[in-house]
């Protein structure tokens, strides 16, 4: 089980794209945090399951950013999360319940949040 206070583990590995055979890197620690359900223990005997933030097919994580963009419309995990946060702020997308607290809850650190915030600003500007 994972705890809220658990430090972010970065497991960066080089992969070969399934589509174009180009080499790229993947942070498998980030992939696990956002794409797998997380069990959080708070106090004695209290267990809360946090649903995964992203649900992409496994192939998403085995493609380079260019191929991901062509096939899924997102170049990486940060890009997808930033889009969801920007959409959650719009009045007609109130069914998206993702908040920055959810990102902190799964263990994303300041570096991750800063990168996501920069991309989110781009989505907010491009859609206004």
Two tokens, residue 36: 């797998």
Confidence (pLDDT) at 115 = 92
Measured in residues, the chain has a length of 128
pLDDT digits (tens, 9 = 90+) for 64-96: 999 999 999 999 999 999 998 888 887 666 677
Residue 42, number of CB atoms within 10 A of its CB: 10
Give me the pLDDT at residue 46, please: 67
- Number of alpha carbons in the 13 Å side-chain half-sphere of residue 42: 7
Backbone φ and ψ of 25, nearest 5°: -110, 150
Give residue-wise pLDDT tens across range 9-48: 788 999 999 999 999 999 998 998 888 876 666 666 666 6
Domain ranges for the chain: 12-126
Over 90: is that where the pLDDT of 106 sits? no
């Amino acid at each position: 089980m994972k705890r809220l206070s658990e430090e972010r583990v970065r497991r960066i590995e080089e992969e070969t794209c399934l589509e174009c055979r180009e080499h790229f890197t993947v942070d498998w620690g980030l992939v696990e945090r956002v794409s797998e359900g997380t069990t959080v223990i708070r106090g004695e005997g209290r267990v809360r399951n946090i649903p995964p933030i992203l649900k992409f097919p496994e192939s998403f994580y085995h493609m380079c950013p260019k191929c991901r963009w062509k096939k899924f419309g997102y170049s990486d995990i940060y890009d997808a999360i930033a889009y969801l946060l920007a959409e959650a702020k719009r009045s007609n997308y109130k069914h998206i319940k993702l908040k920055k607290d959810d990102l902190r809850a799964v263990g994303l650190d300041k570096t991750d949040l800063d990168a996501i915030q920069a991309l989110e600003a781009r989505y907010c500007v491009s859609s206004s």
